[in-house]
Structure 1
Amino acid sequence: MNKITIISLLSSESKQFSSVFFEVLKKHQRVVLSSPSSPLGRKLTAEKYPYEILGEKTLQKNQSSDELEKAARQLICSSASGNVVYAVAGHPLINETLVQKVAKLHSHVELNLEQPFEDSVFSYLKNEEAEGFQLLPACHLNPDTVQTSQHVVINRFSSPDNVRRVVLKLKEKYSAEYEFALLAKREGCTYRLYWLSLQEALELTEEELEQADSVYLPPMDTDEQVRSLSTLQFYIDEVTGPEGDVWIREQNAHSLIQYLREETEELVEAIQNNDRENWKEELGDVLVQILYQTSIAEKEKHFSFEDVLEEVNRKIRRRHPHVFDGVEATTPEEVDALWQKIKQEEKRQRK
């Protein structure tokens, strides 16, 4: 199968093209652009460099999925008679949805960048309005630190098993069907690109995983971030806000006590009945009541949800020196004695 090479500039506004960029172009007899009016199209036209335009009209960022799919298939068809290079302005994974489509449909897509992949993402985003960027090492990935609202790059894979562990951890934050880019290192700053779901990544061969250099996860929309506490906070802020739910706006901390009690009793009942589904659901309902209470407290300028988090985080840290500070407490009795001692000290300090 012939190869499709994606080559890009890192700034969509740049009118300067490096010698490296043109050296790559000149190695390919067929160059395809999405727009003749782009800075690159004008430059190639001025230098009388031959190129083709993808499709019958210029592709826009707001193209429909069907139009992008059609354009992707046209690009793949154009590679039937030989290798082609698709040249884009901007970053090929961040602002080029077409590249994602092509990589999903074609088994041999490469990215040719002018610098290592993670540097290319950073270089692009620092000059563009974007959602933010996280660069995380694969060796000690903590899924709780992954911000699904941002562009996420994970690198420094040590083995195929390391890749699998990272994918399994990511499934704690993203759905199994969530699609991301896996980049396998070639020579220099050239990468083989796989665009696939987290579930599909677990089915890659040992050889494919061995070559993994980086993964890129695009930011999720708010309604997709259903495994995030910040999403629930956003929803609650909207529901309790000036344009939100009329009923909740009429409530206060005291009027909501009955609902907090009801939800807590239902949670206890689900636990006692070993009802896992209701156990999970009622925990969520109790959490909603907690957020309603903190929302009211914040509006009345008493404290915020972040104040509650600070209080409980400090308390958990302070009351578990046998976990965090190496204090000896190896039996339940020793832990209870330590706990009582700490609580007495807390009472003394509050006086």
Structure 2
Amino acid sequence: MSTAITVVGLGSGGEDQLTLGILKRLQKASRIYVRTLDHPVCKDLENLHLSLNSFDYIYEAKSSFPEVYDSIANELIQLAKQGTAGEEIVYAVPGHPMVAEATVGLLKERCADQGIPLSILGGESFLDEAFIRLGFDPIEGFQLLDAGVIDRELLQPKLHTVIGQVYDVFTASDVKLSLMEVYPDDTKIIVGHALGIEGQEVIQEVELYELDRVEGYGNLSLIYIPKSDNEQLTRRTFGRLHEIVEILRSPEGCPWDREQTHASIRKNLIEETYEVLETIDDDDPDHMKEELGDLLLQIMLHAQMEEELGTFDVYDVIQGLNDKLIFRHPHVFGDNKAEDAGEALANWEAMKAEEKKLKGQAKEGISILDGVPRDLPALMKAYKLQKKASKVGFDWDQVEDVFVKVEEELGELKEAIKLNYAAEEQMLELGDVLFATANISRFIGADPEEALAATNRKFTRRFKYIESRLAEQGKTIEDSTLEEMEACWQEAKQELKDY
């Protein structure tokens, strides 16, 4: 059996922060190892004639903190294995062993795997001094973050936030940049050095943009952002959006929003989608940002209606989407490979089929054409139906065959018009022509909806050019002849340089 390892906390400062129980344990220990001598209490312990073995040499030999912590944990494991059963190695760390102490986490994993007895004794952490010296009660809402892994998703302005492990000005600079994604540049920030240590403590208030201009960052430094109810700080959060929509639909909210149903705002969802598409076509990022917000509002309203019924809420929607994205991308989140977009799409389709199996959706009774939304625009739907049918071989071999079909359908349309068929029959013949024409798109690698949209835009530009040119001549479109309009049209084709 190996020698036992006991981890003790040295507190946040000098001997006044060291508990009596830990001191007695240290005085009885035959071997004491400290993570670093760069801690105020170490000198006090040496004055008590305690022999401390430090791992500072590992800091000098390694290039990153993770490497340092890994090496320290491995060194302690080896010392324990070489020891004698019944003996004890005391490993002393700054503050509390379970607060921002990576080596202890590694020891918990590795000692359990290798049968080495491990016990952990507490100690005053730097948080104890932070609560006192910075003057806030953590029960009001509090979070502790590591300066090395901070990002916008972790920041919650409604909570008191303490950021530890701010070892140097470079780390402080990284923290500043992360905080600026949520907080205004002039937000008041507290920087604390050596809290509670007489003669060393420094507490300084600065504006956020000055955070990396503060001097004195080191092992005993932290950053504190007081909690705030300033609504401006939550305007960029999804939680606030959910809250606003919930208020709008509440009895105290907006009368119009309260009255809406899925059916009453159904058309809004379609309209907002097309407005987003327009910004994409116009390559207008600023307008796109606004229209995407309008589209998101429609999603939020539909989800809120279901939340009120207890069916699901928007967070269920998000979870379902996350699950789907992970499941359908095994080449990203799993062991599958995809060297190009084609292989990625094949993985996607395979996982869609697997999803149906897992949901108990047997192939019997399911059409190849299932999955195409009923209310898609007709041209887009024709394209998707044809694409699905082609996957099982129901298709022409070459585009020339499609041209023959288009000419055949066009002939039938001409005949229906010439012989004055009923309006409904003429309409159906026109639909056959459009449906056959949509087939060409797959053979030339074009989306028919995008192709027609491009032509619509081209027609609009040219027609507006006609109106503008006629206006320059003192004429309106209404009092111009077809020949005059045609002349301007030909001019537009040359001037606008579109196809």
TM-score (norm 1): 0.61
Q: Deviations over 1:183-215 (max 9, x none)?
A: 23378375322222222224x16x455687111
SS in 2 for 1:173: coil
Are residues 1:297 and 2:306 paired?
A: yes
1:180, distance to aligned residue in structure 2 (A): 1.6
Quick one: which of 253, 263, 274 aligns to 2:262?
253
1:174·1:227 contact (CA, 8 Å) conserved in 2?
Answer: no
Aligned to 1:219: 227
User: Given the superposition, is the C-alpha separation of residues 128 and 215 from structure 1 closer, same or farther in structure 2, using an over 3 Å criterion?
Assistant: closer
Are residues 1:197 and 2:207 paired?
A: yes
User: Given the superposition, is the C-alpha separation of residues 120 and 230 from structure 1 closer, same or farther in structure 2, using an over 3 Å criterion?
Assistant: farther
Give distance in 1, aligned partners of 2:202 and 2:342: 57
Quick one: which of 277, 287, 290 aligns to 2:296?
287
Percent same amino acid at aligned positions? 31
Give distance in 1, aligned partners of 2:297 and 2:222: 37
1:177·1:198 contact (CA, 8 Å) conserved in 2?
Answer: yes
Aligned to 1:228: 237
Give distance in 2, aligned partners of 1:277 and 1:232: 20
1:168, distance to aligned residue in structure 2 (A): 0.7
1:180·1:215 contact (CA, 8 Å) conserved in 2?
Answer: yes
Give distance in 1, aligned partners of 2:312 and 2:137: 36
- How many residues were matched structurally? 238
Amino acid of the structure 1 residue aligned with 2:160? H
1:182·1:212 contact (CA, 8 Å) conserved in 2?
Answer: no
Are residues 1:137 and 2:146 paired?
A: yes
Give distance in 1, aligned partners of 2:331 and 2:209: 39
Aligned to 1:149: 158
Give distance in 1, aligned partners of 2:239 and 2:328: 27
1:154·1:214 contact (CA, 8 Å) conserved in 2?
Answer: yes
Give distance in 2, aligned partners of 1:186 and 1:123: 9
SS in 2 for 1:232: helix
User: Given the superposition, is the C-alpha separation of residues 277 and 201 from structure 1 closer, same or farther in structure 2, using an over 3 Å criterion?
Assistant: same
Amino acid of the structure 2 residue aligned with 1:143? R
Equivalent residues in 2 for 1:17-96, closer than 5 Å: none
Give distance in 2, aligned partners of 1:128 and 1:260: 46
SS in 2 for 1:139: coil
1:117, distance to aligned residue in structure 2 (A): 4.4
Which one has a bigger Cα radius of gyration? Answer: 2
1:135·1:152 contact (CA, 8 Å) conserved in 2?
Answer: yes
Give distance in 2, aligned partners of 1:186 and 1:307: 43
User: Given the superposition, is the C-alpha separation of residues 165 and 212 from structure 1 closer, same or farther in structure 2, using an over 3 Å criterion?
Assistant: farther
User: Given the superposition, is the C-alpha separation of residues 329 and 212 from structure 1 closer, same or farther in structure 2, using an over 3 Å criterion?
Assistant: farther
Aligned to 2:317: 308
Q: Deviations over 1:262-317 (max 9, x none)?
A: 22222222222222221112222222211111111112232111211221121122
User: Given the superposition, is the C-alpha separation of residues 164 and 192 from structure 1 closer, same or farther in structure 2, using an over 3 Å criterion?
Assistant: same
Give distance in 1, aligned partners of 2:133 and 2:309: 43
Q: Relative contact order: is structure 1 or structure 2 higher (C-alpha 8 Å, sep ≥ 6)?
A: 1
Aligned to 1:88: none
Q: Deviations over 1:214-248 (max 9, x none)?
A: 11111221513112111111111111111100001
Aligned to 2:326: 317
2:191·2:222 contact (CA, 8 Å) conserved in 1?
Answer: yes
Aligned to 2:425: none
User: Given the superposition, is the C-alpha separation of residues 211 and 278 from structure 1 closer, same or farther in structure 2, using an over 3 Å criterion?
Assistant: farther
Aligned to 2:349: 340
Quick one: which of 258, 273, 292 aligns to 1:264?
273
SS in 2 for 1:140: coil
User: Given the superposition, is the C-alpha separation of residues 165 and 128 from structure 1 closer, same or farther in structure 2, using an over 3 Å criterion?
Assistant: closer
Amino acid of the structure 2 residue aligned with 1:196? V
Give distance in 2, aligned partners of 1:242 and 1:223: 22
Aligned to 1:4: none
Could you say what the CA RMSD is over the residues aligned between the two structures, in angstroms? Answer: 3.0
SS in 1 for 2:222: strand
Quick one: which of 179, 191, 195 aligns to 1:182?
191
Give distance in 1, aligned partners of 2:258 and 2:133: 43
Structure 1 consecutive aligned stretches of length 4 or more whose deviation exceeds 3 Å:
120-125, 127-131, 207-212
Give distance in 2, aligned partners of 1:258 and 1:347: 30
Which has a greater percent of strand?
A: 1
2:133·2:195 contact (CA, 8 Å) conserved in 1?
Answer: no
SS in 1 for 2:343: helix
Amino acid of the structure 2 residue aligned with 1:215? I
Gaps of 5+ in 1: 1-19, 22-114
Aligned to 1:237: 246
1:151, distance to aligned residue in structure 2 (A): 0.8
1:349, distance to aligned residue in structure 2 (A): 1.6
1:122·1:133 contact (CA, 8 Å) conserved in 2?
Answer: no
Gaps of 5+ in 2: 1-15, 18-123, 362-499
Amino acid of the structure 2 residue aligned with 1:330? E
Give distance in 1, aligned partners of 2:131 and 2:344: 47
Aligned to 2:417: none
User: Given the superposition, is the C-alpha separation of residues 178 and 227 from structure 1 closer, same or farther in structure 2, using an over 3 Å criterion?
Assistant: farther
User: Given the superposition, is the C-alpha separation of residues 231 and 218 from structure 1 closer, same or farther in structure 2, using an over 3 Å criterion?
Assistant: same
